[in-house]
Structure 1
Amino acid sequence: MTVEIALRRARVRYGPLEALHGLDLPLPAATVTVLLGRNGSGRTTALRALAGTVPLAAGRVEWRGTDVTRLPAHVRARRGLCFVPDLRAVYPTLTVAENLDLAAPGRRDEALAAYPELGPLLGRRAATLSGGERRMLALSRALLAPARVVLVDEPSLGMAPAVASRTYALLAALARPPRAAAVVLAEQRVPRGLPPGSLAYELRRGSLAGGREITAPWT
């Protein structure tokens, strides 16, 4: 597998607390990778470190072999990285339509094809949406952006089971050609419906505790 992006001996500190302890995490292209762990395990911090929204205290971030540790988050985004955090992932004062148009101008219909539930909500401000509706709106950006790296923290947060299943299928499709993106999800447990060849890594207290390849559809 070709490594798309990687953490190399990455350390992240929040004040006196170290959240990542020299984490080595290679993430291949054209693959769905799930970072598993309880709250405080470091999975969210790993996504933030890859995205550039938290600085490394030591180590580096490599993107296709190039050190991008010092590149700010907005530059990484311009280069093809899309990060959907678990919170503050939409513009709350803008309408659903405005959020979609900012994410992918002229492609609103594609977002509504993925999440038709957003159609009746186009005129509403994002701040008035339910948690699941906000997740659908936030994930529309990841589905439409021409990103080579897609990072999503808890994709199905607040979603109904049927919408969650559809979401994982949509994200898995991003790892297939022609996009062939590195799709990285932070979860507490392995979600259902991931395709064979997906990877699952368990983090504990900021360190890698184990990993495995999913060799059959996970149910």
Structure 2
Amino acid sequence: MTVEIALRAARVRYGPLEALHGLDLALPAGTVTVLLGRNGSGRTTALRALAGTVPLDAGRVLWRGADVTALPAHARARRGLCFVPDLRAVYATLTVAENLDLMATGHPDAARDTALAAYPELAPLLRHRAGTLSGGERRMLALTRALLSPARIVLVDEPSLGLSAAVASRTYGLLAALTRPPRSAAVVLAEQRVPRGLPPGSLAYELSRGSLADARELVPHPSG
């Protein structure tokens, strides 16, 4: 598998606390990778380090072998990285329709159709300000960013946060679809437990206190 993006000996500090302790992660293209761990394990910080929203105190971020450690978050986004954080992922003062228009990379009407096909629950809320939505509705709106972006790297922190079991299952299917050609994105999810329904070849890295505790293939490829 081709490694799309990687952390090498990455260290991140928040004041006196070190959140990542020399973490090594290799995240393949065309694959769903799940970063598992409890709160404080470092999984969210690992996503932020990949996205460039927190600086490394030591180590490197490599994108297809090129060192992008010094590249700021907006430059990584322009290069083809989409990050959906767990909080403050939508523009609260804008309507749902305005949020979707901002996320559109092509024709706004086509982008809106794509978003509403994925999450029809948003259709009656288009004129509502995002800040008035429920937690689950805001999450669906935020997740459309990953679906509308042509990014080669998609990072999502707690994708199922606030979602019903049925919508969470649909979400994992939508995100897994991004790994298939022609897009073949590297999709990286931060979760507390393993999601159901991931495609064959999906990977899991379990983090504990900012270090890698375990790595495994979640769903083996069919033999033969």
TM-score range, shorter chain: over 0.9
Q: What does residue 7 of structure 2 align with?
A: 7
Q: Which SS does the other structure have where 2:123 is aligned?
A: helix
Partner Cα separation in structure 1 for residue 219 and residue 78 of structure 2: 34
Partner Cα separation in structure 1 for residue 99 and residue 219 of structure 2: 37
1:196 Cα deviation (Å)? 1.1
> Please, what TM-score do these two structures have when normalized by structure 2?
0.96
Q: Which SS does the other structure have where 1:175 is aligned?
A: coil
Q: Deviations over 1:97-126 (max 9, x none)?
A: 000000015111100000000000000000
Q: Is the 8 A contact 2:198 2:219 kept in 1?
A: no
5 Å-filtered alignment, 1:158-177, equals 158-177=162-181
Alignment partner of 1:61 is 2:61: yes
Runs of 4+ in 1 over 4 A off after TM superposition: none
Q: What does residue 98 of structure 1 align with?
A: 98
Alignment partner of 1:84 is 2:84: yes
Q: What does residue 203 of structure 2 align with?
A: 199
Q: Which SS does the other structure have where 2:86 is aligned?
A: coil
Q: Which SS does the other structure have where 1:110 is aligned?
A: helix
Q: Which SS does the other structure have where 1:62 is aligned?
A: strand
Gap regions ≥5 residues in structure 2: none
> Please, what TM-score do these two structures have when normalized by structure 1?
0.98
Partner Cα separation in structure 2 for residue 196 and residue 62 of structure 1: 25
1:215 Cα deviation (Å)? 2.6
5 Å-filtered alignment, 1:15-94, equals 15-94=15-94
Partner Cα separation in structure 2 for residue 32 and residue 122 of structure 1: 30
For residue 151 of structure 2, the aligned residue among 147, 153, 178 is 147
Alignment partner of 1:183 is 2:165: no
Q: What does residue 116 of structure 2 align with?
A: 112
Partner Cα separation in structure 1 for residue 205 and residue 29 of structure 2: 16
Q: Which amino acid aligns with 1:57?
A: D
Gap regions ≥5 residues in structure 1: none
Q: Which SS does the other structure have where 1:113 is aligned?
A: helix
Q: Is the 8 A contact 2:115 2:144 kept in 1?
A: yes
1:216 Cα deviation (Å)? 5.1
Partner Cα separation in structure 2 for residue 115 and residue 103 of structure 1: 15
Report the number of matched residues.
217
Partner Cα separation in structure 2 for residue 216 and residue 92 of structure 1: 41
1:147 Cα deviation (Å)? 0.3
Partner Cα separation in structure 2 for residue 124 and residue 42 of structure 1: 35
Partner Cα separation in structure 2 for residue 162 and residue 190 of structure 1: 16
Q: Which SS does the other structure have where 1:132 is aligned?
A: helix
Q: Which amino acid aligns with 2:93?
A: T
Give percent identity, aligned residues only: 84
Partner Cα separation in structure 1 for residue 50 and residue 153 of structure 2: 10
Q: Which SS does the other structure have where 2:88 is aligned?
A: coil
For residue 156 of structure 1, the aligned residue among 151, 154, 160 is 160
Residues 23 and 84 of structure 1, relative CA distance in 2, 3 Å threshold: same
